[in-house]
Structure 1
């Protein structure tokens, strides 16, 4: 795996899901394996350059882009609420959000919407991707490992329920010293989606703590 380097890092004032404002450190990179524009956001005690390689094993969330969930507030998945939870926790404890441009588990935005149509006809989220000629889950976390290595990070506490993220990062040379569980935001709208994730990838469907009211995210992150 080739080495990536930090291209730019800037201070970025950000509003967290609850409405409070903090300052993050936004990193971009050169030399990423897939040529896409992935980013890292350093939060809490990792928001300053001097702390970027600071002591201790950092908390890290690897989050794949989901325009419908992260931005539009879709309830078909729990991506938006998980992003909010990650930002809250990383800002409180200090750590990094790796935001990867891997929409639809790697198939792209338009193809994901096509997959939604097939799901409406009865296929699950994985079989819909396959029916369109794509892998059930085409995400590759090599760029995540590259970005972590560019930041001087060799070990992480990984904020995820997805065992594939842990196994891929481990194979790529990143030590996952702890897999920290995420809240599962189970709703009537995403029950079938989460059940498919549990059956096909081993992610839990039982909420690990009470689901946050959806109005909190919408009031803080979407314009009226």
Structure 2
């Protein structure tokens, strides 16, 4: 039997989807969780997203049967998600989200907004500036970008195409809730992720709290997490 099975290419109710945004393809793929289990997730792609990027969703379990499914918005981080960079907490957050979504059922929206929207090469340029003493947000500004250039309106359109108007949001970032609510998605509650602090990312995490009010309880110094 093939490990990949094609599903419907339309949302459950096309009339409920945002005009111009619709499901393109859904396909089942076996994925390996952080605990070593192999489970099935549905990768879902979209037509009509305004920014033209290849954002996609992963569906775990049967969240369409829930009134308020758990949803994680995860911005692409090639260095952390794929190569295990310890300069950020992106990889651990992604792996935690997949475990929790498998256990509870829900959606992971993987948004192609590398480097908080500035792109991979610019993010690596920002790393060089961070090595000279700037924090992650100051480095983005020094390069001529916003502190955080991400637009979560596209995530709202994806959720509408999936017929998900009301969610529990898995995130420590208050901006995600604010933007989703402004774009018409009801966030019933915000569920915190784990805190993945280490000696290489503690300064980065403190910058998240200081600049963008992320809800993280952090140790004061890297020696506490070495």
- Normalised to the residue count of structure 1, the TM-score between the two structures is 0.87
3-state secondary structure, aligned to 1:205:
coil
Residue 27 in structure 1 maps to residue 44 in structure 2:
yes
Instruction: Write out per-residue CA displacement over residues 192-213 of structure 1, whole angstroms, 9 at most, x where no aligned residue.
Output: 0000000001113326xxxxxx
Aligned equivalent of 1:40, options 57, 62, 73: 57
1:16 to 33, 48, 66: 33
Q: Which residue of 2 aligns with 1:152?
A: 163
Query: Which runs of at least 4 in structure 1 moved beyond 3 Å after TM superposition?
Result: none
State the secondary structure of the residue aligned to 1:147.
Answer: helix
Equivalent in the alignment of 1:176 = 187
2:172 and 2:216 in contact (8 A); partners too:
no
Which residue is 1:218 aligned to?
none
Q: How far, CA to CA, are the matches of 1:160 and 1:54 in structure 2?
A: 22
Q: State how far apart, in whole Å, the 1-side matches of 2:40 and 2:197 are.
A: 31
Equivalent residue of 1:169, what SS?
helix
Tell me, in whole angstroms, the C-alpha distance in 2 between the residues paired with 1:140 and 1:2: 19
Unmatched tracts of structure 2, length 5 or more: 1-17, 219-226
Alignment equivalent of 1:77, drawn from 80, 83, 88: 88
2:127 aligned residue (96, 109, 116): 116
Alignment of 1:47-86 (within 5 A): 53-86=64-97
CA contact (8 A) 1:61 1:160 kept: yes
Instruction: Give structure 1 stretches of 5+ with no counterpart.
Output: 47-52, 208-224
Distance in structure 2 (CA, Å) of the matches to 1:81 and 1:2:
35
Counting matched residue pairs gives 201
- Helix, strand or coil for the counterpart of 2:73? strand
1:87 aligns with 2:104: no
CA RMSD after TM alignment:
1.1
SS in 2 for 1:75: coil
The answer to whether structure 1 residue 161 and structure 2 residue 165 are counterparts is: no
1-structure distance, mates of 2:162, 2:177: 19
Deviation at 1:71, TM superposition (A): 0.5
Is the contact between residue 20 and residue 47 of structure 2 (CA under 8 Å) also seen in structure 1?
no
Matched-pair contact (CA < 8 Å) for 2:20–2:48: yes
Computing the radius of gyration from Cα coordinates, the structure with the larger value is 2
Superposition deviation, residue 2 in structure 1: 5.3
